[in-house]
């Protein structure tokens, strides 16, 4: 129990502070106790939504962090969480509205404060481009994990073994993602195709550039490695990955409330728990103990990518995404535990 409290001490404190702020925001906004209760409930639901959608994000973060230099691990777990909470939960929605509406950042803040419905409408109109970018990036993340000749462990062998054997075909992941993107673009109305395709290409380009950056830094000379090598590329990769995971939660949050600050509080609380889970997974070497856990996370990522693409055509409730992702991770945990029992019995 003490170990769990040690890992989740800060999230517990942030939860208390966040709920106090949610209640205060409800009182300032509505001036009624019913409004306070409503804001508290929405804040709790948003935090739960963020945790359920991002548990696979914590597993993937831990998978990358375990190979990073300690200094870059600390930077991600400090600076990274600030970027995740303030950047993605506050600045990102403001930036989207600012660009989409052609207004300045301050005007976007005033719009969020005084015309929340209009703010939410603009965010909703930008949903297509956001999901295309995030879906493409996450699809590349998922396929790159499975189509890898260096991958040694298979969970669903009939599928994963075949994908691993196809790793010798250069550019296969890109070809598959582009085929999926073109399929969804074809199903869209003609007026929306250009925006969808442009955002998807940007997602693919971002993934490729980050891969190139990480490769260049990791294979540079000793001087570069002593400075930023072996960590900066992975740091940036993790930040974009977190952003891609966040898109779904940020957009979905507007279905519960139009208040930008309540959204930031609720999702920020959830982000702190994701950070704590990441640290616990790294320090307790959970991924080494449960050999299929990261497989479940990457399957979840791939499913989330499909869901983000599908949201360009139909509405998919966030609870469905969370249940599917959580279900895959639970199945991976069960398979890992069963494998461990068999290994113990064999010895």
Q: How confident is the model at residue 209 (pLDDT cuts 50, 70, 90)?
A: confident
Structure letter (DSSP) for residue 115: -
Q: On the CB side of 224, how many CA atoms lie within 13 Å of its CA?
A: 14
pLDDT for 233-244, tens place per residue?
777 777 777 777
pLDDT for 8-22, tens place per residue?
788 888 888 988 998
Phi and psi based region of residue 103 (left: phi greater than 0; alpha: psi -120 to 50; beta: remaining): beta
The interaxial angle of helices 2-30 and 260-283, nearest 10 deg, is 180
Domain edges within the chain = 2-346
Which range of 100-114, 171-185, 275-289 scores highest in mean pLDDT? It is: 171-185
Distances (CA, A) of 303 to 75, 207, 300, 307: 30, 18, 5, 6
Least confident of 80-94, 111-125, 169-183: 80-94
The larger pLDDT score, comparing residue 176 to residue 63, is at 176
The larger pLDDT score, comparing residue 163 to residue 96, is at 163
Nearest to 146 by CA among 334, 300, 260: 300
């Amino acid at each position: 129990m003490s170990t769990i409290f040690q890992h989740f001490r800060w999230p517990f404190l942030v939860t208390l502070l966040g709920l106090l702020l949610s209640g205060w925001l409800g009182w300032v906004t509505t001036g009624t106790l019913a409004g306070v209760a409503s804001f508290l409930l929405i804040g709790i639901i948003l935090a739960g939504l963020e945790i359920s959608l991002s548990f696979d994000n914590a597993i993937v973060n831990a998978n990358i962090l375990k190979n990073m230099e300690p200094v870059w691990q600390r930077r991600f777990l400090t600076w990274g969480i600030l970027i995740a909470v303030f950047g993605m939960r506050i600045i990102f929605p403001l930036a989207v509205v600012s660009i989409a509406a052609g207004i300045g950042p301050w005007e976007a803040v005033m719009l969020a404060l005084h015309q929340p419905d209009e703010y939410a409408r603009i965010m909703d109109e930008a949903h297509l481009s956001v999901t295309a970018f995030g879906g493409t990036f996450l699809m590349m993340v998922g396929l790159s994990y499975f189509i890898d000749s260096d991958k040694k462990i298979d969970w669903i062998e009939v599928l994963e073994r075949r994908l691993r054997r196809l790793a010798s075909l250069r550019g296969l992941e890109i070809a598959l993602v582009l085929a999926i993107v073109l399929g969804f673009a074809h199903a869209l109305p003609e007026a929306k195709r250009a925006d969808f395709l442009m955002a998807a290409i940007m997602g693919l380009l971002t993934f490729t550039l980050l891969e190139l950056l990480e490769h260049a830094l990791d294979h540079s000379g000793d001087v570069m490695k002593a400075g930023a090598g072996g960590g900066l590329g992975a740091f940036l990769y993790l930040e974009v990955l977190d952003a891609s995971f966040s898109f779904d939660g940020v957009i979905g949050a507007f279905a519960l409330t139009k208040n930008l600050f309540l959204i930031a509080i609720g999702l920020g609380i959830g982000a702190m728990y994701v950070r704590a889970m990441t640290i616990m997974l790294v320090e307790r070497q959970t991924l080494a103990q449960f050999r299929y856990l990261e497989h479940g996370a990457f399957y979840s990522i791939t499913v989330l990518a499909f869901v983000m693409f599908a949201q360009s055509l139909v509405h998919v409730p966030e609870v469905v995404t969370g249940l599917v992702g959580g279900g895959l991770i639970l199945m991976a945990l069960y398979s890992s535990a069963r494998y461990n029992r068999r290994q113990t019995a064999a010895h």
